[in-house]
Structure 1
């Protein structure tokens, strides 16, 4: 498990480092509850949690042992003290018992560390790698989880929120992010939302703002944040690029190209957000305030459990863009099929 990998997960490492090993997907026809101890241990290795196998050798009898285990059992018998390791394991166990195709689970923790490079947040790679965050854990990531991973910036929370939304829009396709310029004479908001941090910097160079582009390294600015986040507007971008307020022509130049890029629908949402009386400019220094429970407030604890969904970094009910460019071709194809079927079933009148 601890085999040598060139570069490890240094914050400065490029996306090619920390590459996934060729993991052999375990193919067992039996339901997970009837898996042997050896198969369960191999599965734990595949999940990136192989370091718990030694302690659990005598406790694990079959897959059923893990399926029946409580949080306390996982901590006591397997030694899983890291809360995010427990969460990851429980989500993985839920997935093995589900009939649905688990696309999120195919994105392992090595993929997620490369994804952090892509969205412009390489400084958190070691924390995410240590917590073994995979695609499934990302989908169910809460604000508290992110704070425990030392992600305290409001901007970085929004960056991760919108990056998760982009993954959902693309059905957790591991190759959905666009790293290099392609033939983009008539690029859609859906395609821009897939731009990596590096690709956004390339765009800045193409609009004659090359000297400011390096300021976006480690900022968390990617295409999804630019298109999907109403709070992220041209003012926030100018601040992150360090374009002084007195350079009005330069700021106007940036605004023109930014608005042309993101499209009228995204711009309208940003304008609505800007006109909200509670609006505050998004800065690199604003911190997320952890939710404090009142001392002895059992009512608060109960309330929090009910509103748990509200605490996800990217809520399950987050509004998806209505722009037609976000509808994938497969979805359009299915709609056309339905339409054709309806046409065929209409009664013929003479």
Structure 2
């Protein structure tokens, strides 16, 4: 019976701890869905805000790729106070011991360096592409993540998931062949191609990063509480920020920042506030993303991220005047269709899981009743 309850709480990965009867399975089920809902809100709102403000930075005269990369990780200090509210969980005989400090340090450095390179590629993409095109290319992240999840996280492919991959690939391909009509006049063809390739490469790299994060949760850290999520966001972000500072000085962009702030279209105060809110928004987005990885899976977190991408092109049309022509509209519909295809697969998996758990619970109950009858005889 206990085994059946435990599997019911595994929805599908996050609710895998039993609280010794203090809370009912239904209460814990609702708590799990509440946490997932909060993480989804963090992810979608942070992603949309950061992307639009990043485009605003370039449109108003910002030109530093390293400062744009820097703000994607530099907001981590706002998360540090939360570490004092979420203390480490007490270990017990059933709790696996924490990994060695050296292992964690190497893990943080490794993820931090991946973030540095990935954020730099995203900066090139956001500078050289319209927001709508940039966001739709990012939808390929789901396809890459499905492949990496299959290789590293034992993700199984179904007809719906394959359908999702095909639709998202076609969506990005339409944007690639349609670049001439979508290319703003102020951006050269070469820069547009660079932006497209960098965004595509960043999507692949970030998908690999998410799958390796899930693998780390399962094989190395072996813990899924919110403090672990915070630590896995704060420490790699610190490493990535240090890497960006080195890049700022090595590239010589540090010397141009004062002039860039002075010449910013909306003024120097707006320049600082734009960068500050970009940094905060990316941290909110990252907490949501990591939270979904710890509670569910890297592929699910990427599905939610991709599902939220269509919000950005719509807002870009409203705030930045990006045109939404026929080809881009078709690409947008395919992106939504591809994302929805995987969400529906997750829904089917959830129904199957509940059905299997219910059947096992009934079998366990019948076996227990039979044993009682035998003992009474």
Whether the TM-score (by the shorter chain) exceeds 0.5 is: no
Normalising by structure 1, report the TM-score: 0.23
Normalising by structure 2, report the TM-score: 0.22
